[in-house]
Structure 1
Amino acid sequence: MATVPTPRTWTVGELLTAAKLNTDLRNGLNFLLSGKPLAILGKTGNQTIPNSAWTTITWNSETVDRDAGHDNATNNSRYTAQTAGYYRVVAALLWNSGFTAKIRQTMVVKNASLAMFQGTGFGDADGSFASSTSLGTVFLAVSDYLEVQGMQATGSSWDVVPSSTRFELEWVSS
């Protein structure tokens, strides 16, 4: 769990020391620059999504996970908050090509029951590309978790492909 620094209130006449500067200034800057929770999750293979059914996306690749909120083996569909606060979230699914003008959707769900935000995408006219992205900011208490779900309406099962499919979370404020 990342420790969010507590700002110091200085008093008149207080002696400035290197230890106080390190604790009060350096540690706060280090947290903001390289210590705040950040996760970028991805996939290494396709995942088949049935027609017209919301399906939880699994993540088996981590570019970064500073706060150990994700595990590639256990509950690999989840990011579990280790540090409370507001998180900026992006969930992007790249769908296999081939169907044109069919709906693809992405939804971020909190604690398996509360839909936080949802995005919709459509295929290109030539069927070569389709994506859907969901983004927003959400408050997470310690142990709250987020999952990404995908849904498509092509008439048959369809794949989410690993290229550009990602789940990103960044702590922005307490």
Structure 2
Amino acid sequence: MATVPVPRTWTVGELLTAAKLNADLRNGLNFLLSGKPLASLAKTTNQSVPNSTFTVVTWNSEIIDRDGGHDNATNNSRYTSQTAGWYRVVAHLVWNANFTAKIRQTNFVRSAAQAYFLTSGFGDADGNNGSSTAVGLIFLSVGDYLEVHGNQASGAALDITAPNTHFDLEWTSS
């Protein structure tokens, strides 16, 4: 769990010391520059998504996970917030080539309860890979988890493909 620094309120005549500068300035800057929660999750294998069924996307590779919110083995579809706050989130799903029903969708679900930022993407007219992306700002309390769900309407199962599919989260503020 990252510790979000609390800005100090200085008083008139207060003595400035190295310890106070380190605690109040250095630690706050370190948090913002390299300590705030940040995760980038990816796939190394394709995942089949049934026709017209929102399906939880699993993530089996961590590019970075500064706050320990993801586990590749247990509940690998989830990023679980260790630090409360607002998170900027992006999920980009790349779909296998398909010539029919080009609808592709991506959304976020927080703690299995509420869908956010449902987006639609479309495959190319020539049947090349399609993609769908969801972007948003979501508040997560400690223990809340966020999942990405994908949906497609091709008439049959269709794969989300590796390696360009990813899920990125960045803590922005409390």
TM-score in terms of structure 2 length: 0.98
Runs of at least 4 residues off by over 6 Å: none
Question: Where does 1:53-132 land on structure 2 (aligned, <5 Å)?
Answer: 53-99=53-99, 102-132=102-132
Question: Counterpart of 2:172?
Answer: 172
Question: Counterpart of 1:4?
Answer: 4
Q: Hey, what's the Cα distance between the residues in 1 that align with 2:23 and 2:135?
A: 35
Residue 36 of structure 2 aligns with an amino acid whose one-letter code is: K
Cα pair 2:100 2:155 within 8 Å, conserved? no
Cα pair 2:102 2:124 within 8 Å, conserved? no
Q: Hey, what's the Cα distance between the residues in 1 that align with 2:138 and 2:153?
A: 28
Residue 9 of structure 2 aligns with an amino acid whose one-letter code is: T
Give 3-state SS (helix, strand or coil) of 1:19's partner: helix
Q: Hey, what's the Cα distance between the residues in 2 that align with 1:34 and 1:157?
A: 41
User: What 5-or-longer segments of structure 2 have no aligned partner?
Assistant: none
Q: Hey, what's the Cα distance between the residues in 1 that align with 2:101 and 2:53?
A: 18
**Alpha-carbon offset, residue 164 of structure 1:** 1.5
Residue 111 of structure 1 aligns with an amino acid whose one-letter code is: S
Residue 83 of structure 1 aligns with an amino acid whose one-letter code is: T
Residue 58 of structure 1 aligns with an amino acid whose one-letter code is: T
Question: Where does 1:18-33 land on structure 2 (aligned, <5 Å)?
Answer: 18-33=18-33
Q: Hey, what's the Cα distance between the residues in 2 that align with 1:26 and 1:97?
A: 50
TM-score in terms of structure 1 length: 0.98
Matched, 1:151 2:151: yes
Residue 94 of structure 2 aligns with an amino acid whose one-letter code is: L
Q: Hey, what's the Cα distance between the residues in 2 that align with 1:81 and 1:137?
A: 14
Residue 106 of structure 1 aligns with an amino acid whose one-letter code is: T
| Deviation per residue, 1:25-75 (Å, 9 max, x gap) | 000000000000000000000000000001000000000000000000000
**Alpha-carbon offset, residue 154 of structure 1:** 0.4
RMSD: 0.8
**Alpha-carbon offset, residue 99 of structure 1:** 2.2
| Deviation per residue, 1:77-101 (Å, 9 max, x gap) | 0000000000000011000113255
User: What 5-or-longer segments of structure 1 have no aligned partner?
Assistant: none
